[in-house]
Structure 1
Amino acid sequence: MTTVTLPPGPSKPRAVQGVYALTVPHRGMRRMRDRYGDAFTVNVPTFGRAVVISDPAEVRQVFMTGPELADKSDRNLGRVLGPGSLFALDGDEHRRQRRLLVPPFHGRRLAVYQKIVEEETVRELASWPQGPAFATLPSMMRITLNIILRAVFGSAGAEFADLRELLPRMIKLGSRLAVLPVPRIDLGRWSPWGRFWAMRREYDAIVARLVADGRQDAKLDERDDILALMLQSRYDDGSRMSDSEIADQLLTLLAAGHETTATTLAWAVERLRRHPAVLSELVDEVDTGGDALREAAIIEVQRARPVIDFVGRQVLADRLQVGRWTVPKGYAVLVSITLMHDNESLFPNAQTFDPHRFLGTRPDLYQWIPYGGGGRRCLGAAFANMEMSVVLGTMLRDLTLVPTDEPGEHWHSRGVANAPSQGGRAVVRRRDAAPLPSTAAGDAGAGS
């Protein structure tokens, strides 16, 4: 049998390593790289024993590894989102479900959703104050939640309002349960899992009503919402998705299509305010109807400020060869998105925020990995990129975003996603309004 060969790593107890990973996730990764190299072994809650890698060739190899050798690495997300979620499924069942869910997020369907994105953005921007600084993250959360609800359910009346009130609380708690080793004990409102499962039962009841109404809708084939497409879809054997599968997959779409996109948009505001030359170019581009630099800026925000720490696989084979390392069964192999995106050999002057690096070119999807990679890459990536482009373009078209020379905002963990610590604070004015007194002019520096 092949000898196990693992990279070095800290020897502290699992709990100590877990606290370190939670309190200093980004600085901690860089410190570990500086001490141990581009690969190291850790032992942390949720993942257990894991090899963290950031060598491009090894990352590509992991993403190309078949699910019979290594598959999903995150146990808790599957528990939060349900057994029918893509995050819980593996092997053939994962591929079977994924094929059914791809069509709503590609091709002409994206054009259908663009109008929804602009409408929700304009509605929310109308509430933004002119003059005082404010955190944009709550607004971005409302925008993306309303967008994904409308895309998933169309016009749902009272159920839409119920979900709009329920989901933010449910996703916030679920996001924390997914990364914390909280015992799965149901003590009702006295335990985190108890509170989450109570909300999950409420969610299931709402979705059950919507599914039942949809199955009886004589005009179902005329609808563009994702629920309608799911109700009409069929597996290769002609069978349809069960109600529980639909509920789990819809929750996956609602969660994945809401918080991470909103957080990236808040980071975009935070970055652009500190890089006024780029901001000015983007405004000029919007005024001429272009979008190339805006799309490059979104890619650069995702590179420089990734909202997810890791993607990875759980080793299922007795041994998995990953470049220099032979990893035993039961270990996770985690790709550090931060270390990949910081890699100077892949992204020269990596600490500099520079959208021009992606102007006229597309990133290598084995090196730029905010959506993961391989067979488990986020299937809503095209939808999220379209959404962020329309939101950002609408904001720059209608508002002036006032630059600042304040230091950049730090990372703040919200559970699954890492947000700007002050919520992506902004100062804005209407573009047709009189200018505000300048609160700050100039760039805080390339590395801020």
Structure 2
Amino acid sequence: MSTVRLPDGPTTPAFVQGVEILAGRTRAWRRLHRRYGSAFVVSMPRFGPTVVLSDPAEVKALFTTHTDLVDNIDANLGQFLGPGSLFAKRGENHRRERKLLTPPFHGRRLTVYEALIEEEAVREMATWPSGTEFATMDSMMRITLNVILRAVFGAEGAEFDRLRTLLPKLVLVGSALAAIPVPRKFFGRYGPWARFAAHRDRYDAIVTRLIERAAADPDLAERDDVLAMLLQARYDDGSAMTHSEIADELLTLLTAGHETTATSLSWTIERLRRHPDILERLVTEADAGGSELREATLLETQRVRPVIDSTIRKVRADSVQLGRWTLPRGQHVIVSIRLMHDNAELFTDPRAFNPDRFLGKRPGTFSWIPFGGGARRCIGAAFATMEMNVVLRTLLRDFTLETTDAPDERAHFRGVALVPAKKGRAVVYRRPPREAVRDLDTAHSENVAAGETTGARSEEVTA
């Protein structure tokens, strides 16, 4: 075993370090970075002494290290999503499961979902008040939840409605438990774990019926929803997923597939309201049918306001060399997404909101990392990116977003995600349909032409 070499870090009591991180994650990361540089050791709640990395070369080394050497942590979201979830699997089991889940959310499959996303966005935005400030995040949550439910199950129905009510409750309790290590028997059948278990039981009952119904569908092969694809998918050895594995994976897709995307959209609105020049350019581009600046804006929003600010691994080998450091077996390692995106060597003037930095330039694989990296990069990244693009396009097309000089909304840690503290407040006004605008422009042009003709005739008479 190689000699262990770890970065420096604070010597204050572990409890004090943990409280500081819980009280203000971004502020704590930045303070420690200023003092210790791009790598330090800090005592994290639940994980103990943890190495935090933000040096690009060391982050790349971590993401490209084989999962037999460095892999997922033990206390991960699998404890909420179930043993069949992608989050709960490691090593070869994770690789074979990821291979099965990749096709529904990549390539040509994405075009199937675009009309669905726009339909849900239009339906939800029809409820928006005109000229009255409101919080956009709850609305975005409804859009993205409905989208992922329809993508997963294909059609609406009684079960769809029950899941639409149940899943936000399940996510809220699960997020709180992920942030604060509460004993499972805390308050017994009245505690948060008991509430989570009750929500999970209801989910299992609903989804089991949907899986059994789909499995018996004689037209299963003709369906293009995710559930149908998973029922027909086969591992390399020809075996199928069990129904319990499918239930866990569906819960993973349903929960991870809507909250983070909705939060990124809310942050986008929060940023644009405070940058009227960028907003004006986006509207002009959308009216002309373009998308380059919109895509760059979404990249920049996820850089300056990452919804997930870190990703964590655990050393599984006797030791692992990562740049300057030699980490022992069992060592937890965090990649700070926040500090990576703050790096002035990677992004000029990193605290500024500047979508132009991504015009005609794709972000680096190991520098822009809101979806994580390596073997555990978010499997739905392409789907989420397309969904955000369609929803923002719909908003710009159908509404005028009022700008503001109000202070920036601070980030609020909600257990897993960093959300706008005021949920992305906005004031909107519905734009007239483009056909009506064209009619007005035509009428205006005709009036101008008529006025010029009348003026010319008057001049002739006078002459």
**TM-score, reference length from structure 2:** 0.92
Q: Decide whether the 8 Å contact of 1:314 with 1:330 is kept in 2.
A: yes
What CA RMSD, in Å, does the superposition of the two structures yield over aligned residues? 1.3
Alignment partners' CA distance in 2, 1:261 and 1:183: 30
Question: Could you tell me how far apart the structure 2 residues matched to 1:113 and 1:47 are?
Answer: 39
Q: Matched residues in 2 for 1:122 and 1:287: separation?
A: 17
Paired with 1:76 and 1:46, the residues of 2 have a C-alpha distance of: 11
Distance in 2 (CA, whole Å) between partners of 1:322 and 1:333 is 10
Q: State which drifts further: 45-54 or 374-383.
A: 45-54
2:200 alignment counterpart: 200
Amino acid at match of 2:408: G
Whether contact under 8 Å (1:56, 1:366) holds in the other structure is yes
Give the Cα–Cα distance (whole angstroms) in 1 for the partners of residues 310 and 320 of structure 2.
19
The corresponding residue for 2:190 is: 190
| Equivalent runs, 1:143-162 vs 2, <5 Å | 143-162=143-162
Alpha carbons 2:76, 2:87 under 8 Å: kept: no
CA contact (8 A) 1:188 1:195 kept: no
Q: Is the 8 A contact 1:51 1:332 kept in 2?
A: yes
Residue pair 1:263, 1:307 contacting (<8 A) in 2 also: yes
Counterpart-to-counterpart distance in 1, 2:244 and 2:365: 33
* Structure having the higher Rg: 2
1:40 aligns to what?
40
Offset of residue 11 of structure 1: 2.3
Check the 8 A contact 1:47/1:74 in 2, yes or no.
no
Deviation at 1:2, TM superposition (A): 1.5
Q: 1:419-438 residue pairs with structure 2 within 5 A?
A: 419-432=419-432
What is aligned with 2:27?
A: 27
CA apart distance, 1:73: 2.6
SS in 1 for 2:19: helix
- In the other structure, the counterpart of 1:354 is 354
% identical equivalent positions: 61
Please list the CA deviations of residues 60-79 of structure 1 after superposition, one character each: whole Å capped at 9, or x if unmatched.
Answer: 00000001111013613110
The answer (yes or no) to whether the contact 1:310–1:337 under 8 Å persists in 2 is: yes
Deviation at 1:312, TM superposition (A): 2.4
What is the CA deviation profile of residues 338-368 of structure 1, one whole-angstrom value per residue up to 9, with x for unaligned ones?
Answer: 0000000000110110001111111111110
CA contact (8 A) 1:9 1:40 kept: yes
Q: Which moved more, 1:42-51 or 1:355-364?
A: 42-51
CA distance in 1, matches of 2:135, 2:329: 45
Matched residue type, 2:13: P
Q: What amino acid sits opposite 2:132 in the alignment?
A: P
Report what 2:446 is aligned to.
Answer: none
Alignment of 1:309-348 (within 5 A): 309-348=309-348
Aligned-pair CA distance for 1:190: 1.4
CA distance in structure 1 between the partners assigned to 2:78 and 2:18 by the alignment: 20
Give the letter for the 1:263 counterpart: T
Q: Does 1:373 align with 2:373?
A: yes
How far apart are residue 188 of structure 1 and its match? 5.2
The answer for the alignment partner of 2:56 in structure 1 is: 56
Q: Which moved more, 1:200-209 or 1:40-49?
A: 40-49
Structure 1 residue matching 2:76: 3-state secondary structure: helix
1:11 alignment partner, SS class: coil
For structure 2, the residue ranges without an aligned partner over 5 or more in a row are: 437-463
Give me the whole-angstrom Cα distance separating, in 2, the residues matched to 1:203 and 1:86: 18
Answer with 69-78 or 202-211: which moved more: 69-78
Report the equivalent of 2:386.
Answer: 386
1:3-45 Cα distance to aligned partner (Å, 9 max, x none): 1111111223333222211111001100000111111101212
Instruction: Name the SS of the counterpart of 1:351 in structure 2.
Output: coil
CA contact (8 A) 1:47 1:73 kept: no
Conservation of the 8 A alpha-carbon contact between 1:152 and 1:226 = yes
TM-score scaled by structure 1?
Answer: 0.95
Amino acid in the other structure paired with 2:258: H
After superposing the two structures, state which structure 1 stretch, 45-54 or 352-361, moved more. Answer: 45-54
Match of 2:7 in 1: 7
What is aligned with 1:268? Answer: 268
Task: State the Cα deviation string for residues 296-334 of structure 1 (Å, max 9, x = none).
Answer: 100000000001121121001111111111111111111
Give a deviation string over 1:74-131, Cα, whole Å, max 9, x none. 6131101111111110000000100000000011211110111000000010111111
Question: Match for 1:17: what amino acid?
Answer: Q
| Deviation sequence 1:361-390 (CA, Å, 0-9, x none) | 111111100000011101100000000000
Check whether the contact 1:10–1:41 (CA below 8 A) recurs between aligned residues: yes
Deviates more, 1:133-142 or 1:1-10: 1-10
> What secondary structure, in the 3-state scheme, does the structure 2 residue paired with 1:432 have?
coil
Deviation per CA, 1:267-316: give whole Å up to 9, x if none: 00000000011000100010011111101100000000001121121001
Secondary structure in 1 matching 2:40: strand
Change (3 A) 1:259 1:417: same
* Separation of aligned partners in 2, 1:378 and 1:237: 25
Richer in helix (by share) = 2
Q: How does 1:54-133 map to 2 (within 5 A)?
A: 54-73=54-73, 75-133=75-133
Offset, 1:412: 0.6
CA distance in structure 2 between the aligned counterparts of 1:295 and 1:329, rounded to whole angstroms: 41
Tell me if the contact between 2:59 and 2:366 (Cα under 8 Å) persists in the aligned partners. yes
